[in-house]
Amino acid sequence: MKHIIIDASQLELNDKVVAIKRVTKTVKGGRSMRFTALVVVGDGNGHVGAGLGKAVEIPEAIRKGKEDAMKHLVEVAMDENSSLTHDTVGKYGSANVLLKKAPEGTGIIAGGPARVVCELAGIRNIRTKSLGSNNKQNVVLATIQGLTQLKTPEEVARKRGKSVAEIQG
């Protein structure tokens, strides 16, 4: 997955906790408890990232997850009606997420983890379907991976040596 390094300090980022898991480890004196938080951050304007934080206390795990997510921000190509530029499939592990372009007024039709990513990325019209694994972490990462694959018509035209009008037909 390509990560474009984006300066998070210049963006006003919102964050949402997707999942908090209690993880136990059996040690000599009994069980030690820790927490893992999956956090997604985004500015609602084409930037989104996900991160994992692990700590003994929940607030600390969330803080670490948010910091990790800021380090993994990606840019999302969107069209004029806040939808995708084209249909794509994001893959991560055994999770596949189908991302489909939608017309104005459709809204976000997506399941839990994919919905959070789309909302924080600033996408307002999209249809998604989670295929394969429904592991929250893998679905979030598959959605982000799919969003990074998106190309604008300008990028495709430049790559093919054609005009934007020829590509859009």
CA 102 to chain centre: 18
pLDDT greater than 90 at residue 162: no
pLDDT band at 80 (very low <50, low <70, confident <90, very high): confident
Write down which residue in 44, 74, 104 finishes a domain.
Answer: 74
The 10s digit of each residue's pLDDT in 121-147 is 999 999 999 999 999 999 999 999 999
Backbone angles phi, psi at 165, to 5 degrees: -60, -40
d(CA 3, CA 154): 20
Same domain? For 111 and 145 the reply is yes
User: Both 80 and 46 in a single domain?
Assistant: no
Is pLDDT at 2 greater than 70 in this prediction?
no
CA dist., res. 124 & res. 114, Å (int): 13
Clarify whether residues 41 and 104 are in a common domain: no
Residue 166 has pLDDT above 90, yes or no: no
Residue 144: which CATH number?
3.30.230.10
- 160 and 84 both lie in a single domain: yes
Indicate yes or no: pTM above 0.95: no
The predicted pLDDT at position 7 comes to 66
**Average pLDDT estimate for 102-106:** 91
Report the CATH number at residue 32. Answer: 3.30.160.20
pLDDT at 77 over 70: yes
Helix (H), strand (E), coil (C) string for 23-77: EEEEECCEEEEEEEEEEEEECCCCEEEEEEEEECCHHHHHHHHHHHHHHCCEECC
Distance CA 158, CA 169 (A): 15
Do 54 and 23 share a structural domain? yes
pLDDT of residue 8: 64
Same domain, 139 and 152: yes
Do 134 and 52 share a domain, yes or no? no
CB atoms within 10 A of CB 107: 11
- Predicted confidence band of residue 154 (pLDDT cuts 50, 70, 90): confident
Q: Same domain for 112 and 98?
A: yes
In a domain, 23, yes or no: yes
For the beta carbon of residue 133, count every other beta carbon within 10 angstroms: 15
Domain range enclosing 113: 76-168
| Residue 142 shares a structural domain with residue 93 | yes
Q: Do residues 45 and 98 both lie within one domain?
A: no
- Helix pair angle (136-148, 112-121), 10° resolution: 40
